[in-house]
Amino acid sequence: MDLSGAKSRKPFFYLIVLLGMLLVYAAYFQLNPPARTVGSVKSLVNMSEISTPLPEGAIPEINNPKFVAAQGVTYPEDKDLVVGVVYNGVVKAYPVKILNYHEVINDNFSGKPVTVTYCALCRIPAVYEGKLSGKTAAFRVTGLLYNSNDILVDVETRSYWQQITGQAIIGNAIGKNLTRIPSEMTMWAFWKVKYPDTLVMSSDTGFDRDYGTDPYGGYEESDDTWYSLKKADKRLWTKDIVYGVSFNDGSKAYPKSNVTHAGVINDMIGKNKIAIVYDKDLDSVKVFSRVLRGTELNFETIDNRVVDTNTRSVWNYDGVATEGPMKSEKLRRIDATYGFWYVWSAFYPRTAVYAV
């Protein structure tokens, strides 16, 4: 009797069973959310609007990750996206294919704790100083979502934190804000050329995961958002990539395609005068203050170089003047959130949108 056909069907059968178990698991915890100790009943959000797709710990964080030098590595591949961080004299890259499975990396940059977070449903990377009230803090994924964005919990105070804003929304730390560290979403090929001495996070994480696959494959191309929002904003397509900037007196979203086309944009949000610059080296967008030592600057691109019209000084993509009267001066960088439009607009419903 030829049993080869039956044997070949076994892996497929087991995969179907596994997917079925995961669906049942998620549905059970959606209907029967586990008890959660948050240290306080105070909340900055409406608890009824929080989704409960998974229990805490179902998406495991990584503590003290391993790194390898960039030279000669075969993982990640050149085309893979990474979250790049330059901080405290250290340069590191975190493959998105690893972040998809963990979403929180508690790391250290030459003695300074850093928490790298990534909301896979939002495509939002956000890197924060790993400190609370001057003490080292570690974070993990709660399994809760608000406006489809991760809610994190710190191990020390058990307060809950919104990933996109870095604000404590539930618990004893309520109202406090984490200090954000600039990061770049870019391709590994671009990052390692600009920073040849970079370290890259190893796929040797201690967890049994297939980091060559995308568990959210197809999600980025669909209109589906999976989880509920307070309000859907139709001014842009749901999954358009934007760079969002927020101040106390206003917020604005800059579609990446528009910034790429413009090269550099001189703009204002409320009273804040900013420059939005397309970094061709990294295929990313950076935002800077246009006010330097009390002087307002305006920028334009000439022969693929960023030049201020006031002094004709030339500036690099890190906001440093490399030629002209302003040489060695440095612009102050402004936080900008990379991610899907539908999440940014849900958290900032009054946001303006830059149009060419």
User: Over the range 79-100, which residues count as b (16 or more CB within 10 Å of their CB) and which as e?
Assistant: ebbbbbbbbeebbbbbbbbbbb
Q: Mean pLDDT over residues 296-320, rounded? A: 97
pTM: 0.88
Averaged pLDDT of the chain: 91
Q: Is the pLDDT of residue 25 over 70?
A: no
**Spatial distance between the Cα atoms of 335 and 79, rounded to a whole number of angstroms:** 26
- Please, are residues 150 and 143 in contact by the beta-carbon 8 Å criterion? no
Q: Provide the pLDDT confidence category of residue 125 given band limits of 50, 70 and 90.
A: very high
Number of neighbours of residue 197 by Cβ within 10 angstroms: 10
Question: From CA 106, how far away is CA 128, in angstroms rounded?
Answer: 10
Q: Which two tokens stand for residue 110?
A: 């030459």
Q: Domain 241-353: state its class.
A: mainly beta
Domain ranges of the chain: 36-201, 241-353
Q: Which residues pair with 180 in a beta bridge?
A: 128
Q: Is the pLDDT of residue 315 over 70?
A: yes
State the pLDDT at residue 4: 47
**What is the average per-residue pLDDT within 58-76?**
96
Residue 18 has pLDDT above 50, yes or no: no
Residue 13 has pLDDT above 60, yes or no: no
Kindly report, residue by residue over 285-307, the tens digit of the pLDDT: 999 999 999 999 999 999 999 99
Q: Is the pLDDT of residue 240 over 90?
A: yes
CA distance 107 to 128: 10
pLDDT at 29 over 70: no
CB 143 within 8 A of CB 56: yes
Q: Give the rounded percent of residues in the chain with a pLDDT score beyond 90.
A: 85
The predicted structure's pLDDT at residue 228: 83
